[in-house]
Structure 1
Amino acid sequence: MSVDSVTVDGETHGFTLQVDTDGIISYDLGESESADSSVAGSDTADSLNPAETTDDLTQESDGTDADASDSSTGAEVAEVDAAASPGACSDGTYAAADRKEYGTYNWYIGDGGLPAGMSHTDAIWVFYDALDAITESYNNCGYSDQVDAHKANYLSKTSYEADINTSSQCTDRDGLSTWDGGDLKSGVYATTCTWTWPTPGVKNDLREADVRFNIHDYDFTNNVTSSCSNKVDVRSLGTHEAGHIFGLKDIYGSHSNLTMYGSSIECSTRARTLGKGDVLGLRSIY
């Protein structure tokens, strides 16, 4: 099981617990996990040494993987960081998790509240756009789609909820991959929990992935305008969370122009499209 959340202050913490099919238990505190800047797709950590991933909890047995909570440092600071970071099309940094969707990611939308006050119909297309950005390597850098991950399919509305509690922790899975809005830990914009089947010798097989946006504490928008203030673009954040579902991990440091940067930027649509590192990370998995 793994948990990743986008937090407001950008601080991160990580923990991974794995139970193998032979009963052997192993864990990784994840205190110095680094992003991979290799263009060859290997997962070897380099010297970038970004901060740990907030609420990153991975348990690779029955396979629950929750993505670290997405965070924001505030619009002004974030824009300064973005200006000081390499351009999205020149930054090849990425980090890949030990999971992969080998089949089709079938997903549902909960029947409760949704970010940006969206209707159920609007949410279908907004979340589809976010998932398609990942599965189709949508970018403005001229990279062709070489990612064999055209595997996301919306099924229906459901009375089930994302299996994530108010502390941004994964709960027992219910068998449905559900996207919804709800109450998360203060300081967390969104959390993704993913469960995987242990698959020896290759990346673990995605079994279920739930996404929850923190509509209790934060405001979202699907229409970022020049008058936007203190709101998070739901499609940008959704694309980031979709990246976690398909095996990408958060990156930190001076990489804030990439979609998988672990601190959300308010009133910005930058993360709707992938950067070089995001594309290379997906190519390393698929």
Structure 2
Amino acid sequence: MKILKQKQVLAVACHEIKGQLSSFTYWTIILWPLLIAAIFERSGNIHLDLSTSNHLNLNLFWGNFLPIFIFMVSLSYVSIMANSVAADKTSKISEMLLAMVDAKEQLIGKISATYCLMLLHMTIYAGLIYIYERVTHGFIVQTIIRNTSPVFFVYIVLDAAVALFMALVWATEIASYVTDESQVAVAIIPVMLLIGTGTAVSFLFNAPHYFDAGISVMRVYANVVLAFPPIGSLLMPTLLANQNVGYGEAYLNIVIQLVIIAWLLKQSVRQYRFGLLSSKKANPFLAVLSHENTGNSKENKR
């Protein structure tokens, strides 16, 4: 693969950010969770026992919250990414862009823009939570932060970033084969089924002492399975929160996932390039699985 052209990546990212900030969809994914939170807060029926004397509840909270958080973030931004790629493809903009910007720069630029949008999203939430707790003299978020290790927070950020990256790459790859905007859901559903399955399974792992101390067949098997992204990004935080694995094991899992992602990204760029130029009317997901972008295709030689 050619060396990444940073100026082109920046240009694509800026174009994508500008487009999303002016779209209704982006602001909707920010507002609807706030509406749900306001309804729960208004009902007064939700109470979290996260007192400093109850670390078990805090561990279970993280074990349940993190997979749901990763799932919801992935669902929101995978939808945005798939719609963006499909809109460029169906309007023929992607073909013109390929004449100026290679598929690799387009793919990395769009993903970089998504991370910037998500950072803005989380910053808005953090600011609103801070204001809410100051006004209501709340203590829940303060208690969570005070009783959670900074190393764990660093891991959460890295883990969520890895999971989202893989979800975006797959969604973009499939969406590049969309020939009609009605097919966008087909690009989203396979990715979300995989992440949704990992989220559901993570609840089964959300218990202290799930693994026995030392090396066991189940522990070795789980680590092999969790090495494949984004499965590890969904299940490992739950295991770490409940102290079933250590930080060394958790961070090693991220490193292994990044190595796998680097290899998958190389394949995905070729698929993305071929998909943008393909006009074949077929199921986008099946088109990706068929591996139509063989080494003999002219598009892959560009």
Same fold (TM over 0.5): no
- TM-score when scaled to structure 2? 0.21
Larger fraction in strand:
1
Larger fraction in helix:
2
Q: Whose Rg is larger?
A: 2
- TM-score when scaled to structure 1? 0.22
